[in-house]
């Protein structure tokens, strides 16, 4: 049985951020993940916004962590080599109702500590983005866009290089208190640990209950998205949001991604199923209709893909009100940290939450600092982002940089090989995709998927029947033809 000081349940962005912050200390730490990679749930199913924090209730953990996470992210992106642009955001309005709602949230933002928000007129909007609709806008300079998969991977890889272990395919089935330790039964075997940190995302309420905390009532707000071709993103320098309603909710919007695509969505409807990621004709049609109204590049020829994500919010069954994030730890539940209801803006809040979780453990355990802790991690060097001179040098140094495997995204063999041999030991096709962008382009792997699966087989010495698309049961081949 593997033994650890700290066991983190869940390798979403929150679990990985907690792992990274705990790796600052000399503690034996493991992350248990039921799937075959990090960010398999909602960490990879969102808009990729670094939120500013003007729609969250003043004094809430959400507001506090958002503003903190936002302010530090230039540094974080640099340390962890995460694709990030502080684009700012325009919240646009057409009429006086819009203006009133915008001003309401501007004030909340100011109380929360969001800096630099200001109302601008059409003339100033034209300087920022002449294609933006609306008569006036609130300009929020601190908003930004990032790649949420790369960010989660970066946190995990940094934690890993600082000593944290990752165990994929390890679904937590039971947690038993035995003396001063916990015994955790998982689908891959048993783990003994002193501390348990619940970062189980959509399953956090169940884990919470197993640890003796309440089984918090949660509701799933599901949203669907369209991913559009980079051609649609050419003239979209900044995310544009419609004016919020009085509760701070936004209607369907179009957001550029840090790689230059456009996301249209999410819409919002309730779901009960934890991993209800299926897309539906009804909602895809709705997104198309709404998208057409506000975004001139909403063209069918630009459709690349659809996906869905779910925000699992804690709510109060008697009032129906949604609740703040829960981060708790007390002596009645010894050696546990319980994180429940961490939904949007979970990406922005992940590190601040991780820091708070680590602080609780630091206080109790008084651990030594990890002497070899390095806050920095390097991502895979992208050929497509090199200057012409750099490309020449890269190919001269490593000829694999001269072999283009993914044509649409210009991803080279060198990048795919680095991804296949990633420090976390992930080798699903989706894992390679999230690390390199290969297969993410307009042909969706039509050209490169055959090459990537062949490389996975050859590099790892596995048979074609062992190649997985994403999940454990997602085999791609039934055998050889001959």
Partner 1 sequence: MRSVKEVSVAIIGGGPAGLAAAVRLYDKGIKDIVILEREKMPGGILRQCIHDGFGLTRFKETLSGPEYAQRFIDMAEERKIPYITDTTVLEITPDRKIYAASKNGILEIQAKAVILAMGCRERTRGAISIPGERPSGVYTAGVAQSYINLYNKMVGKEVVILGSGDIGMIMARRLTLEGAHVQAVFEIQPYSSGLPRNVEQCLRDYNIPLYLSHTVTDILGKERLEGVVVSRVDEHMQPIPGTEKTYTCDTLILSVGLIPENELSIGAGVTLDGRSKGAVVDENYQTDIEGIFAAGNVLHVHDLVDFVSREAESLADAVAAYIENGELRKCSLEVETDTNITHTIPQKISGEKSFLLSMRVRQPMKNCEIVISQGGQIIKKKNFKKALPAEMIQIPIDAEKLNSSENLEVSAIC
What is the rounded CA–CA span in Å between residue 312 and residue 340? Answer: 9
What is each CA distance from 81 to 74, 287, 375, 482, in whole angstroms? 10, 33, 11, 44
Minimum distance from residue 396 beta carbon to partner 1 (Å): 6
Minimum distance from residue 314 beta carbon to partner 1 (Å): 25
Minimum distance from residue 454 beta carbon to partner 1 (Å): 6
Minimum distance from residue 433 beta carbon to partner 1 (Å): 12
Catalytic residue among 51, 283, 335, 427: 51
| List of residues contacting partner 1 (CB under 8 A) | 227, 231, 275, 277-281, 284, 300-301, 303-307, 383, 388, 391-392, 395-396, 399-404, 407-408, 410, 412, 442-447, 449-450, 453-454, 464, 468-482
Q: Following DSSP, what letter does each residue of 330-398 receive, concatenated?
A: -TTSTTEEEEE---SSHHHHHHHHHHHHHHHHHHHH-PPB-TT-------PPPGGGS-HHHHHHHHHH-
Measured from the CB atom, the residue of 87 and 439 that comes closer to partner 1 is 439
The pairing of strands 165-167 and 29-32 is: parallel
What's the token pair of residue 227? 């991913």
Minimum distance from residue 473 beta carbon to partner 1 (Å): 3
What is the rounded CA–CA span in Å between residue 79 and residue 376? Answer: 4
Measured from the CB atom, the residue of 124 and 282 that comes closer to partner 1 is 282
Helix residue ranges per DSSP H, 53-95: 61-80
H or E stretch covering 153: helix 148-161
What is the rounded CA–CA span in Å between residue 148 and residue 360? Answer: 26
Assess contact for 231 and 47: CB atoms under 8 A.
no
Measured from the CB atom, the residue of 247 and 300 that comes closer to partner 1 is 300
Measured from the CB atom, the residue of 318 and 478 that comes closer to partner 1 is 478
Measured from the CB atom, the residue of 268 and 306 that comes closer to partner 1 is 306
Assess contact for 92 and 241: CB atoms under 8 A.
yes
Count CA within 13 A, CB hemisphere, residue 251.
14
Minimum distance from residue 445 beta carbon to partner 1 (Å): 7
Beta bridge partners of 5: none
Minimum distance from residue 106 beta carbon to partner 1 (Å): 37
Is 51 a known active-site residue?
Answer: yes
Residues 6 or more apart whose CB falls under 8 angstroms from that of 462 comprise: 456
H or E stretch covering 98: helix 96-112
Minimum distance from residue 460 beta carbon to partner 1 (Å): 15
Range list of β-strands (E), 80-215: 84-85, 89-93, 118-121, 136-140, 144-146, 165-167, 172-178, 181-186, 189-198
What is the rounded CA–CA span in Å between residue 227 and residue 60? Answer: 32
Angle at 236 between CA 445 and CA 96, to 5 degrees: 135
Minimum distance from residue 169 beta carbon to partner 1 (Å): 12
The pairing of strands 29-32 and 2-9 is: parallel
Q: Following DSSP, what letter does each residue of 398-436 receive, concatenated?
A: -GGGG-EEETTTTEEHHHHHHHHT-TT----HHHHHHHH
Measured from the CB atom, the residue of 412 and 418 that comes closer to partner 1 is 412
What is the rounded CA–CA span in Å between residue 385 and residue 84? Answer: 14
Catalytically annotated residues: 51
């Amino acid at each position: 049985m593997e033994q650890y000081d700290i066991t983190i349940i869940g390798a979403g962005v929150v679990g990985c951020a907690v792992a990274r912050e705990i790796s600052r200390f000399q503690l034996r730490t493991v992350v248990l993940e039921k799937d075959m990679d990090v960010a398999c749930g909602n960490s990879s199913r969102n808009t990729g916004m670094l939120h500013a924090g003007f729609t969250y209730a003043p004094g809430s953990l959400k507001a506090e962590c958002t503003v903190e996470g936002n302010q530090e992210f230039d540094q974080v992106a640099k340390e962890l080599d995460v694709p990030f642009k502080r684009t700012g955001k325009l919240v646009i309005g057409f009429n006086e109702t819009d203006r009133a709602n915008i001003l309401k949230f501007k004030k909340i933002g100011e109380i929360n500590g969001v800096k630099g928000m200001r109302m601008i007129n059409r003339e100033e909007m034209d300087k920022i983005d002449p294609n933006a609709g609306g008569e006036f806008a609130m300009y929020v300079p601190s908003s930004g866009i990032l790649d949420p998969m790369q960010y989660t991977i970066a946190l995990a890889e940094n934690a890993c290089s600082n000593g944290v272990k990752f165990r994929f395919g390890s679904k937590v089935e039971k947690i038993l208190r035995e003396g001063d330790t916990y015994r955790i039964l998982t689908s891959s075997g048993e783990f003994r640990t002193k501390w348990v940190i619940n970062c189980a995302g959509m399953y956090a309420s169940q884990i919470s209950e197993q640890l003796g905390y309440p089984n918090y009532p949660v509701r799933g707000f599901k949203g669907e998205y369209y991913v559009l071709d980079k051609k649609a993103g050419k003239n979209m320098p900044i995310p544009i949001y419609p004016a919020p309603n009085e509760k701070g909710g936004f209607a369907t919007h179009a957001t550029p991604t840090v790689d230059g695509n456009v996301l249209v969505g999410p819409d919002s409807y309730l779901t009960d199923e934890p991993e209800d990621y299926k897309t539906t004709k009804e909602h895809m049609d709705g997104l198309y209709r709404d998208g057409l109204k506000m975004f001139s590049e909403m063209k069918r020829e630009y459709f690349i893909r659809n996906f869905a994500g779910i925000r699992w919010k804690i709510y109060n069954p008697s009032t129906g009100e949604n609740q703040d994030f829960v981060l708790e730890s007390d002596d009645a539940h010894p050696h546990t940290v319980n994180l429940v209801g961490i939904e949007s803006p979970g990406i922005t809040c992940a590190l601040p939450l991780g820091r708070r979780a680590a602080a609780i453990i630091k206080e109790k355990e008084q651990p030594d600092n990890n002497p070899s802790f390095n806050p920095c991690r390097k991502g895979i060097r992208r050929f497509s982002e090199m200057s012409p001179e750099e490309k020449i040098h890269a190919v001269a140094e490593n000829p694999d940089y001269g072999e283009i495997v993914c044509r649409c995204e210009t991803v080279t063999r060198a990048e795919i090989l680095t991804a296949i041999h990633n420090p976390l030991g992930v080798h699903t096709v989706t894992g390679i995709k999230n690390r390199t962008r290969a297969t993410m382009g307009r042909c969706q792997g039509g050209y490169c998927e055959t090459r990537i699966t062949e490389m996975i087989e050859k590099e790892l010495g596995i048979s074609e029947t062992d190649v997985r698309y994403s999940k454990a049961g997602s085999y791609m081949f039934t055998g050889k033809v001959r």
